[in-house]
Structure 1
Amino acid sequence: MAAAEEASKFSEEANAYPMTGGDGPNSYAKNSTLQRGAGDAAKELLNEAIAEKLDIDILSSSNTFHIADLGCSVGPNTFFAVENIIEAVKFKFQNQGLNSQIPEFQVFFNDHTQNDFNMLFRSLSQNRQYYAAGVPGSFYGRLFPDASIHFFHSSYALQWLSRVPKEVVDKNSPAWNKGRIHYSNSTDEVVRAYEAQHAEDMECFLNARAQETADGGVTVLLIPGRPNGTPHSHPVGNVSFQLIGSCLMDMARKGVVSEEKVDAFNIPVYAMSPQELEAAVEGNGRFSLEKMETLPHVSTHGTVSVTQLVVSHLRAALEGRITQQFGEEIVDELFELYLKKLDEQPSILASGTAIIFLVVLKRKAN
Structure 2
Amino acid sequence: MAAAQDSSEFCKAFPMNGGDGPNSYANNSAIQGKYVDFAKQLTVKEIAEKLDIEIFRSSNTFRMADLGCSVGPNTFSVVETILEAVQLKYQSTMMNSEFPEFQVFFNDHTANDFNMLFKALPRNRRYYAAGVPGSFHGRIFPNASIHFFHSSFTVHWLSRVPKDVADRNSPAWNKGRIEYSNSTNEVVRAYKAQHAEDMECFLNARALEMVCGGLMVLIIPGRPNGTRHLASATFQLLEACLMEMVRKGVIPEERVDSFNVPVYFTSAQELEAVVEQNGCFSIERMEHLPHMNVDDSVLTNFASHLRAVLEGLIKQHFGEEILDELFDLYSKKFEQQRFMIESGRTIQFFVALKRKEN
Measured against the shorter chain, the TM-score band is over 0.9
Pair 1:240 & 2:234 matched: yes
Pair 1:339 & 2:337 matched: no
- Which residue of 1 is the match for residue 301 of structure 2? 309
Work out which of the residue numbers 306, 309, 323 in structure 1 matches 2:315: 323
Where does 1:1-366 land on structure 2 (aligned, <5 Å)? 6-7=5-6, 9-11=7-9, 13=11, 15-98=12-95, 100-234=97-231, 238-301=232-295, 304=297, 306=299, 308-366=300-358
- Please give the TM-score of this superposition, normalised by the length of structure 1: 0.94
Partner Cα distance (1:100, 1:191) in 2 = 53
Q: 1:287 to 1:343 in 2, by over 3 A?
A: same
Contact 2:64 2:104 in 1 (8 A): yes
Partner Cα distance (1:74, 1:113) in 2 = 12
The amino acid that maps onto 1:344 is Q
Query: Deviation per CA, 1:205-247, whole angstroms, max 9, x where unpaired?
Result: 111111111010000001111111221134xxx2211221121
Q: 1:43 to 1:111 in 2, by over 3 A?
A: same
Partner Cα distance (1:364, 1:2) in 2 = 16
Contact 1:112 1:138 in 2 (8 A): yes
RMSD: 1.5
Residue aligned with 2:25, SS: coil
Query: Deviation per CA, 1:178-213, whole angstroms, max 9, x where unpaired?
Result: 111111111111111000000000111111111111
Partner Cα distance (2:8, 2:228) in 1 = 30
Q: CA deviation at 1:309?
A: 3.5
Residue aligned with 1:101, SS: coil
Q: 1:187 to 1:99 in 2, by over 3 A?
A: farther
Q: CA deviation at 1:335?
A: 1.1
Contact 1:65 1:106 in 2 (8 A): yes
Query: Deviation per CA, 1:305-345, whole angstroms, max 9, x where unpaired?
Result: 62x33322111000011112112121111111112222222
Q: CA deviation at 1:47?
A: 0.2
Q: CA deviation at 1:99?
A: 5.6
The amino acid that maps onto 2:244 is D
Residue aligned with 2:221, SS: strand
The amino acid that maps onto 1:264 is S
Partner Cα distance (1:19, 1:26) in 2 = 10
Contact 1:165 1:193 in 2 (8 A): yes
Q: CA deviation at 1:354?
A: 2.1
Q: CA deviation at 1:249?
A: 1.2
Deviates further, 145-154 or 351-360: 351-360
- Please give the TM-score of this superposition, normalised by the length of structure 2: 0.96
The amino acid that maps onto 2:134 is G
Structure 2: unaligned runs, 5 residues or longer: none
Q: CA deviation at 1:125?
A: 1.2
Structure 1: unaligned runs, 5 residues or longer: none
Residue aligned with 1:289, SS: strand
Query: Deviation per CA, 1:132-177, whole angstroms, max 9, x where unpaired?
Result: 1111111010111111100000011111001100111110000001
Contact 1:12 1:137 in 2 (8 A): no
Share of identical aligned residues, percent? 65
Partner Cα distance (2:57, 2:278) in 1 = 27
Residue aligned with 1:146, SS: coil
